[in-house]
């Protein structure tokens, strides 16, 4: 297949991190990135009960620094023991934070914090009337005609759980005077099980005072609704503080401002001398302010504010949020959701961000999951947008990962960070460095350029404490037997993060968010994760060499321009827009898309789409109402061959713009090789990752065409020059391997030429039984080097290795591989013919040592007794302990020694 060269659709004025993209400038960045705090990975650092000591804080920060971790985000977490705890916000707690800041400054590290114990916006000082609320419905069915005189129907909980996200729901305290206050009373004629007569809707609010009133019920079946303001009683997640820490009303601008400004004032007073360095940001986790069952988050002024933003009185139409009122149902739900999006930004996001900025800090927000705002615009508003969802295989995650990255790009934010490795496995203590790298590569492919490990538990105990540990994380700290190798993964993360912040993303395809369609379908989301569904369109694009951005209505309506056959969004140009199951498109957005299509641009409507838009390419049979990626812990699955609807999409795309990379026909669709392309000044940079358990070898064609090509290997740090610069490059990848390809207009002043091996010979080496300790498996082997190999280069290949390895040849360390290929070269001075000793030490599996215990370890005496464990921690311990079969440990082989001439 030939590849038509194309120009790259980038903003002429877009600035890159490096003004000059000369390879030697990149080389400087490449060399310093592993020691540069800006690019190094950082970590969540949970402080259980803030039962910390100055000595422990210093020791753990020094361990982080030595391992290549550039910073920590301190989170006050659950109390696990009876002694040593410090209340969040207390002078004693502040003293420990100040010590951590002093030590971070000494070590050249960065610190982030949160405005709460645990997470969620909330604190003990939030007054009773400014705590989280919902709009709660109650109804009474009546048969007319008669005069109803009686109380309004009382609110009865619809079955709110008491576990999971609801575990922190508590009885209402403080006797807020507006608890249960009637917001509206509406009557309606019943026409079916879940439907009402829209013409019969009547606002009866003025007819009732408190719970008493009257209503003349006409002939037929009627329903009397009472909508009340109810407090949720939600406390902050991941804490068990006394006094209780209450979630603030996220939809009250006044409440949010008082809360955020109070926190900011406290932080400035206590920690001001360390702002903006090392204390640089305040973090807001994915929103977990939850409504009671069958209610929606609300505040005292929400009803008039929605009416103001929508241009009509919502009061008589409130039943449409729960029941069908005919043709207007979807309009009302859309208007309410759109208004709630704006309220979320104005009442929650902006007060938090402005409070941070007022004291010289940046606000870092995960804008996804359960709050009312649309994710792309929410990401663009955050000073530092952050995302999550860990996949350690060939996947692209359009929501939330790509949506957050796109929001940052289009709204002018420099990069996106990720909460990385959460639930890589459901079992803790199980992940290997290789698996962490796979997950890293999946994040990188989607455009992530800073990593927060999830994470590190503050502890001074030498072994895991599984009933006193964070339940949703991978253990990335010295407990892990592979910890001595972690610095190499940290260097890898830093090099990749630095490179992916250079230049600008080169896409060309827009994937339009179906948010408007979702907003029309429902208004009651309960605790559903508000993830947009695109079917398998995103992975289909990536598996065939394209990449994409997510675009929302706000961008298309306010920051879009049509220039010839290109659609410019925030000055970034695109040739194609794909609609995924968009049954409704707001008229202002639809007008932009129609004009783009009529100007020669490509708009492809997959699945249901509005009839209006004659120039759209339609693929109605494309299934879009399904998740775009499989659950996080799933294993690798091959990419299936394209069906008819895939072929129609790909054909339409090829007419609009060629793919950015082209694999051999035999490798399509890609089973794992994927890319992220960045356009620099005078260069094109491709990150390529082989996210599959099989090797890849073949010719890869690139849209870039420049005279000098080099391969940049972030695992080793080595850079090699290729012997030619053809657009089609013969590339090889081991399973799960990754590297950068740089096309440049200027040569590098130094760099190794890619060697061409010849006359290779291979001999097998038997794998003996290892000597086993709790942290390592050690193999010892004798290897005979034949006389015929004199003067040749030798390489030891261990085949599969389960965790990380140290390879020693005659006692000298020749390699410490922690990801494929698990191999090392033997120095020529040590490769003389004769008998040699090969020793390999492999890091053991931490989960195996955890399972070897019948009971978890007791706390040290100075912390007193273990508090009764919560169900979450105890169940996590049981899950870890009972998981079978254990993943393999040690050398899987085959082990070989290879010789060759250059």
**Of 321-330, 483-492, 791-800, which range is least confident?**
791-800
CATH code for the domain defined by 660-754? 2.60.40.1180
Mean pLDDT of 336-345: 99
Q: Please state the three-class secondary structure of 43-111 as a single string.
A: EEEEEECCCCCHHHHHHHHHHHHHCCCCEEEEEEECCCECCCCCCCCCHHHHHHHHHHHHHHHHHCCEE
Phi and psi at residue 782, to the nearest 5°: -100, 135
SS3 605: strand
Structure confidence at residue 900 as a pLDDT band (50, 70, 90): confident
Lowest mean pLDDT, pick from 222-236, 255-269, 698-712: 698-712
Average pLDDT for 379-396: 98
DSSP letters along 415-460, please? --EEEESTTSSSSTT---HHHHHHHHHHHHHTT--EEEEEEEE---
Question: Mean pLDDT in the chain?
Answer: 94
Starting at the earlier edge strand, list the strands of the sheet with 548-551.
548-551, 509-512, 576-580, 602-606, 617-619
The pLDDT, as a whole number, for residue 330 is 98
Q: Alpha-carbon distance 656 to 344, whole Å? A: 37
Span 648-670, average pLDDT: 97
Check residues 476 and 790 and name the one with the higher pLDDT.
476
Q: Round to whole Å and give the CA distance between 753 and 45.
A: 43
Least confidently predicted of 3-12, 167-176, 644-653, 679-688: 3-12
Alpha-carbon gap, residue 848 to 479, rounded angstroms: 13
pLDDT band for position 727 (cuts 50, 70, 90): confident
Q: How far apart are CA 674 and CA 687, in angstroms?
A: 8
Confidence tier at 753 by pLDDT (50, 70, 90): low
Mean pLDDT (whole number) for 99-114: 99
Work out whether the CA dihedral 327, 616, 399, 380 comes out positive or negative: negative
Structure tokens at 710: 């080099």
CA distance 529 to 177: 32
Does the pLDDT of residue 757 top 80, yes or no? no
List pLDDT tens digits, range 444-469: 999 999 999 999 999 999 999 999 99
For residues 609 and 380, give the distance between their C-alpha atoms in angstroms, rounded to a whole number. Answer: 27
| Percent of the chain residues past pLDDT 70, beyond the cut | 96
Res 758 pLDDT > 70: no
- Do the Cβ atoms of 237 and 120 come closer than 8 Å? yes
Q: Which residue in 701, 650, 642, 645 sits closest to 673, CA to CA? A: 701
- Cis ω for the linkage preceding 717 (within 30 of 0): no
133-161 residue pLDDT tens: 999 999 999 999 999 998 999 999 999 99
Of 692, 680, 686, nearest to 734 by C-alpha is 692
User: Bridge-partner residues for 248, per DSSP?
Assistant: 131
DSSP codes, 486-551: HHHHHHHHHHHHHHTTSSEE---EEEE-THHHHHHH-S--TT-------TTHHHHHHHTT--EEEE
Residue boundaries of the structural domains of the chain: 128-250+289-326, 504-659, 660-754, 758-845+886-901
Kindly tell me the burial class for residue 887, based on how many C-beta atoms sit within 10 Å of its own C-beta (0-12, 13-18, 19 or more). middle
**The pLDDT value given to residue 4:** 32
pLDDT attached to residue 124: 98
Length in residues, the chain: 902
Q: Is residue 682 over pLDDT 60?
A: yes
What are the tens digits of pLDDT across the range 800-838?
Answer: 999 999 999 999 999 999 999 999 999 989 999 999 999
First to last CA, the chain: 33
708 Cβ neighbours under 8 A, 6+ residues apart: 23, 721, 725, 743, 744, 745, 746, 747, 748
DSSP three-state, residue 136? strand
Which residues neighbour 86 within 8 Å (Cβ) at sequence distance 6 or greater? 49, 50, 51, 52, 92, 93, 96
- β-bridge mates for residue 784, sequence order: 835
Q: What is the structure's pLDDT at 849?
A: 94
Using DSSP bridges, classify how beta strands 212-231 and 133-151 pair: parallel, antiparallel or unpaired: antiparallel
Please identify, in words, the CATH class of the domain defined by 758-845+886-901. mainly beta
């Amino acid at each position: 297949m030939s590849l038509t060269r194309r120009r790259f659709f980038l903003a002429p004025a877009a600035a890159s991190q490096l003004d000059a993209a000369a390879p030697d400038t990149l080389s400087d960045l490449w060399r310093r990135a592993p020691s540069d705090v800006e690019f190094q990975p950082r970590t969540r650092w949970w402080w259980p009960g803030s039962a910390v000591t100055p000595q422990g804080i210093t020791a753990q920060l020094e361990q982080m620094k030595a391992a290549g971790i550039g910073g920590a985000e301190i989170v006050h977490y659950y109390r696990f023991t009876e002694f040593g705890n410090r209340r969040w916000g207390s002078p004693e707690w502040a003293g420990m934070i100040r010590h951590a800041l002093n030590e971070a400054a000494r070590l050249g590290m960065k610190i982030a914090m949160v405005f709460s114990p645990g997470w969620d916006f909330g604190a003990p000082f939030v007054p009773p009337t400014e705590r989280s609320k919902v709009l709660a419905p109650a109804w009474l069915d009546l048969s007319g005609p008669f005069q109803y005189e009686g109380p309004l129907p009382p609110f009865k909980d619809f079955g709110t759980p008491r576990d999971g996200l609801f575990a922190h729901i508590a009885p209402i305290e403080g006797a807020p005077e507006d608890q249960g206050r009637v917001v509206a009373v509406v009557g309606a004629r019943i026409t079916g099980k879940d439907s009402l007569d829209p013409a019969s809707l009547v606002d009866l609010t003025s007819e009732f005072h408190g719970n008493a009133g009257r209503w003349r019920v006409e002939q037929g079946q009627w329903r009397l609704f009472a909508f009340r303001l109810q407090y949720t009683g939600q406390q902050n997640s991941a804490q068990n503080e006394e006094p209780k820490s209450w979630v603030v009303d996220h939809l009250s601008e006044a409440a949010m401002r008082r809360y955020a400004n109070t926190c900011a004032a406290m932080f400035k007073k206590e920690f001001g001398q360390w702002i903006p360095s090392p204390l640089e940001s305040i973090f807001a986790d994915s929103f977990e302010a939850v409504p009671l069952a069958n209610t929606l988050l609300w505040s005292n002024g929400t009803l008039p504010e929605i009416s103001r933003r929508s241009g009509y009185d919502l009061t008589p139409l409130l039943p449409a949020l729960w029941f069908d009122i005919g043709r207007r149902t979807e309009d009302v739900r859309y208007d309410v959701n759109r208004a709630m999006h704006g309220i979320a930004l104005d009442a929650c996001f902006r007060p938090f961000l402005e409070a941070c900025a007022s004291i010289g800090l940046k606000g870092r927000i995960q804008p996804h999951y359960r709050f009312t705002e649309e994710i792309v615009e929410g990401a663009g508003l955050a000073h530092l947008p952050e995302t999550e969802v860990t996949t350690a295989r060939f996947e692209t995650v359009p929501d939330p990962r790509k949506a957050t990255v796109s929001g940052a790009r289009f709204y002018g934010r420099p990069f996106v960070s990720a909460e990385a490795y959460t639930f890589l496995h459901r079992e803790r203590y199980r992940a290997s460095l290789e698996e962490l790298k796979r997950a890293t590569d999946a994040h990188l492919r989607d455009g992530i350029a800073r990593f927060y490990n999830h994470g590190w538990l503050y502890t001074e105990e030498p072994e895991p404490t599984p009933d006193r540990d964070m339940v949703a994380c991978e253990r990335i700290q010295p407990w892990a037997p592979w910890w001595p190798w972690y610095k190499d993964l940290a260097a890898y993360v830093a090099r990749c993060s630095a490179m992916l912040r250079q230049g600008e993303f080169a896409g060309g395809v827009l994937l339009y968010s179906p948010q408007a369609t979702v907003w029309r379908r429902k208004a009651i989301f309960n605790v559903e994760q508000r993830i947009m569904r695109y079917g398998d369109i995103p992975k289909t694009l990536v598996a065939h060499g394209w990449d994409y951005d997510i675009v929302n209505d706000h961008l298309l309506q306010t920051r879009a321009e049509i220039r010839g056959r290109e659609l410019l969004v925030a000055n970034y140009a695109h040739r194609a827009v794909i609609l995924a199951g968009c049954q409704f498109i707001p008229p202002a957005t639809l007008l932009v898309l129609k004009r783009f299509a009529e100007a020669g641009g490509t708009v492809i409507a997959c699945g249901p789409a509005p009839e209006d838009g004659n120039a759209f390419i339609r693929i109605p049979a494309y299934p879009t109402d399904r998740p775009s990626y499989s659950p996080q812990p799933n294993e690798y699955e091959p990419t299936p061959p394209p069906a008819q609807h895939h072929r129609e999409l790909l054909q339409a795309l090829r007419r609009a713009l060629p793919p950015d990379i082209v694999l051999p026909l035999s490798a399509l669709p890609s089973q794992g090789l994927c890319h992220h392309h960045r356009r620099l000044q005078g260069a094109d940079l491709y990150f390529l990752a082989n996210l599959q358990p099989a090797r890849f070898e073949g010719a890869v064609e690139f849209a870039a065409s420049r005279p000098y090509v080099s391969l940049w290997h972030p695992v080793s740090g080595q850079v090699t020059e290729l012997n030619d610069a053809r657009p089609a490059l013969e590339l090889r990848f081991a399973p799960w391997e990754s590297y950068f390809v740089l096309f440049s207009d200027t040569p590098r002043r130094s760099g190794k030429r890619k060697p061409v091996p010849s006359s290779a010979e291979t001999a097998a080496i038997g794998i003996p039984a290892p000597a086993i300790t709790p942290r390592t498996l050690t193999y010892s082997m004798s290897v005979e080097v034949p006389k015929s190999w004199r003067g040749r280069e030798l390489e030891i290949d261990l085949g599969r290795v389960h965790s990380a390895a140290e390879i020693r040849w005659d006692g000298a360390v020749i390699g410490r591989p922690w990801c494929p290929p698990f191999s090392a070269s033997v120095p020529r001075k040590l490769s003389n013919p004769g008998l040699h000793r090969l020793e390999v030490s492999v890091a053991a599996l931490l989960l195996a040592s955890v399972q070897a215990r019948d009971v978890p370890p007791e706390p040290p005496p100075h912390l007193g007794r273990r508090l009764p464990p919560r169900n979450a921690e105890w169940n996590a311990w049981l899950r870890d302990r009972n998981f079978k079969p254990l993943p393999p440990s040690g050398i899987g082989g085959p082990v070989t020694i290879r010789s060759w001439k250059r």
